[in-house]
Amino acid sequence: MTTYDFIVRNWPELMSLAWQHTVFVSIALAIAIATGVPLGVYLTFNRRLADTVLYLAGIMMTVPSVALFGLMIPVLSVFGHGIGTVPAVIALVLYSQLPILRSTYAAIRSVDPAIIEAGLGIGMTRAQVLFKVQIPMSLGVIFSGVRVAVVMSIGIGAIAAYIGAGGLGQYIFNGITQTYDAMINAGAVAVSAMAILADFMFGRLERTLVSKGLRRD
Amino acid sequence: MIELNHVTKTYPGASQPAVDSVSLTIPEGEICVFIGPSGCGKTTLMRLTNRLIPITSGSISVDGKDIMGLDPIELRRHIGYAIQQVGLFPHMTVRDNIATVPKLLGWARTKIDARVDELLTLVNLEPGTFRDRYPRQLSGGQAQRVGVARAMAADPPIMLMDEPFGAIDPINREVLQDEFLRIQDKLKKTIIFVTHDINEAIKMGQRIALLKEGRLIQTGLPDELLNRPADEFVKSFVGADRVLKRLNLLKVRDAMMTNPVHCRSEDSSEKVLEQMVKNDLAFLIVTDRDQRLLGYVNQYDLRGHKGHAGDVARKLTLTVSPERNLKEALSQMLSYDLGILVVVGEDGRIQGVLNSTTLCSLVGSTYDEHGGHWGRITAAGRIL
Ligand SMILES: Nc1ncnc2c1ncn2[C@@H]1O[C@H](COP(=O)(O)OP(=O)(O)OP(=O)(O)O)[C@@H](O)[C@H]1O
Ligand SMILES: [Mg+2]
């Protein structure tokens, strides 16, 4: 059976796996953005802490995902969540932190000090400069970090099937154990398609949210 | 009013103070120009004044109140600041940049829009063309003007302007300077204005403060700086052509000789000729009964003429207004190779005569170490 035939015949199941995949990746990203962006912004006010945190986040990235999932099983078992969606989400949040943190931190810091001085000089408070100037100016770069995190999470999310989180990785793992090529391919194609689609959508969102004044053309 | 009292600033880690015990008072409604070589502390003084950086020692007070006792945000909204690097917000349109402070103050939309257009017009940018542009779509000089407009948006009574016209071409710069002075005449803001251009300083400043390596070297009226430079540094800073620069400060009125000899159009030609020969005059101005300029006569035309001097008078097309500055008048004389220029008021009456020889000695003589000679020259009214 060709990959195409497999996809057509198993369309409802594929969709439900895709939905599962979307759900835990989305939850993870929502948490990662909600924590990573504010943390990244905060770090710009605390350079010493910034070095440490970015270093740790960098190390995090070097841990192979399979190993991380494995490592988390005994830890989370204590809370009764050794396998399933919870460890998958936690792992994805940890992986997404680095690109989001690093892009946020770099973007906020790269705002020309003269612009900040101009803002303060005409009587904006520090918070107003942060929220009305620095963050809007940084959105483009923050978005590029988020898009890296999105694409990466969808990919790594496939491995979460290994610890029973379900999702499209299930086809890949099952396909490997059953040496069923069409199933492996269907899982892989679906993961790629999802990543491309998500990246495209975030690109669109970026264009609407980031000021035209920051576009290079 | 801004009062600087032994203001000293040493940046962290610096061995030398960037500003060293500067004391200066800028009276309400005056423009004080800070001028001096790069790195002499001009920008630092401004940042100290609106508390962007803390003062090391000394004190600054604004309108009689020590700035350390004021809320820094309130203080900065009271003081418009156009920074040297312009620093427009790139993600906002020109309108939104200018509207920043009015928005924070909660102005109504219509009031903001009206103010934005008013300010754009003021800085010589057509509102319809520029209002909705982003900073990246502006030239350096245009961006600079938007920066000035932004600093003025909420109409602060005090302005700090760090080289506000630095990136603007000479012609537009002149237009802006004139416009700015015209507005200032009405608004009477207290302004610190930084420039590197001594000519701009002379034009804009009611008072000039010359700084060097953080210290105030000389402060005074523009004329004082040109006329009595405190030391060699000031002398070289104001330039070897400081005498010529002074021409910019003086009006034709200051240098002209009043009551020039002239005749009336109805005087008889014979009489006029006789007087001219007697006084050795080559030309003579002819006026009507009301001292209105009609032209001039020369001895050749009068010779043998029976009638009124007015009949043989030649037209005098090049005259000068008493309000023009001397530089322009001198330039006119040089370009038309004129020995004299008749000064005519708006009503067409002659007010005096400008003569190149006396003009030169006037400007030169005020630099005479032993004192000026205004009296000698203006008294020598008979110049024809
Ligand atoms: N943030 C800073 N930290 C340390 N030193 C500084 C800082 N800002 C300025 N300086 C130093 O203080 C001195 C005065 O600087 P300032 O910017 O006031 O000069 P300026 O007169 O405005 O010069 P320019 O005409 O080039 O703008 C310079 O020697 C400069 O190197
Ligand atoms: Mg400066």
- Could you report the per-residue pLDDT of B165-219, keeping only the tens digit for each? 988 888 888 888 988 898 898 889 999 999 988 889 988 999 999 999 999 999 9
Average confidence score pLDDT of chain B: 87
Q: Write phi, then psi, for B282 (nearest 5 degrees).
A: -80, -35
The pLDDT-based confidence of B364 (bands split at 50, 70, 90) is: low
Q: What is the mean pLDDT of residues B236-249?
A: 78
CB B326 within 8 A of CB B250: yes
> Number of Cβ pairs closer than 8 Å across A and B?
80
> Using a CB-CB distance cutoff of 8 angstroms, which residues of chain A are in contact with residue B47?
117
Using the mean position of ligand 1's atoms as its centre, give its distance from the Cα of residue B45 in Å.
10
Across the interface, of A118, A124, A214, the residue whose CB is closest to B91 is A214
* B16/A73: higher pLDDT: B16
Q: How far apart are the first and last CA of chain B?
A: 50
Number of domains in chain A: 1
- What's the CATH code of the domain at A200? 1.10.3720.10
Domains of chain B as residue ranges with CATH: 2-249 (3.40.50.300), 252-363 (3.10.580.10)
Chain A interface residues (partner B, CB cutoff 8 A): 112, 114-125, 128, 132-133, 136-137, 210-214
Q: What is the mean pLDDT of residues B341-361?
A: 83
Six token digits for residue B114? 């009206």
Across the interface, of A114, A124, A137, the residue whose CB is closest to B104 is A124
Residue that has been written with the tokens 């002659």 in this structure: B350
* B328/B5: higher pLDDT: B5
pTM for the structure as a whole: 0.80
Q: Under an 8 A CB cutoff, do A211 and B150 touch? A: no
Using the mean position of ligand 2's atoms as its centre, give its distance from the Cα of residue B165 in Å.
13
Across the interface, of B83, B136, B153, the residue whose CB is closest to A117 is B83
What distance in Å separates the CA atoms of residue B54 and residue A194, rounded to the nearest whole number?
54
Q: What is the mean pLDDT of residues B260-281?
A: 87
pLDDT tens string for chain A (217 positions)? 788 999 999 999 999 999 999 999 999 999 999 999 999 999 999 989 999 999 988 888 888 888 888 888 888 888 877 788 888 899 999 999 889 999 999 999 999 999 999 999 999 999 999 999 999 999 999 999 999 999 999 999 999 888 888 899 999 999 999 999 999 999 999 999 999 999 999 999 999 999 999 987 6
3-state secondary structure of B345: coil
Q: Under an 8 A CB cutoff, do B101 and A212 touch? A: no
What distance in Å separates the CA atoms of residue A19 and residue B31, rounded to the nearest whole number?
69
- Could you report the per-residue pLDDT of B117-170, keeping only the tens digit for each? 999 999 999 999 999 999 999 999 999 999 999 999 999 999 999 999 988 888
Nearest chain A alpha carbon to B52? A121
Residue that has been written with the tokens 């004391």 in this structure: B23
Q: Tell me what pLDDT residue B363 has.
A: 66
Shortest Cα distance, chain A CAs vs residue B19, angstroms = 19
Across the interface, of B76, B87, B91, the residue whose CB is closest to A213 is B91
- Sequence-separated contacts (24+) of A126-134 with Cβ below 8 Å: A128/B104, A130/A41, A132/B100, A133/B89, A133/B91, A134/A108
Six token digits for residue A52? 């440490």
> Which residues 50-109 in chain B show a CB within 8 A of chain A?
50, 52, 73-74, 76-77, 80-81, 83, 85-93, 100-101, 104
Containing domain of residue A11, as a range? 3-214
Task: Say whether pLDDT at B382 is over 50.
Answer: no
Using the mean position of ligand 1's atoms as its centre, give its distance from the Cα of residue B323 in Å.
41
Name the closest-CA residue to atom 8, ligand 1: B44
Highest-confidence segment of A44-58, B88-102, B189-203, B290-304? B88-102
Over the range A23-60, which residues count as b (16 or more CB within 10 Å of their CB) and which as e? ebbebbbebbbeebbebbbebbeeeeebeebbeebeee
Shortest Cα distance, chain A CAs vs residue B31, angstroms = 19
What distance in Å separates the CA atoms of residue B183 and residue B193, rounded to the nearest whole number?
15
Over the range B252-283, which residues count as b (16 or more CB within 10 Å of their CB) and which as e? bbebbbeebebbebebebeebbeebeeeebee
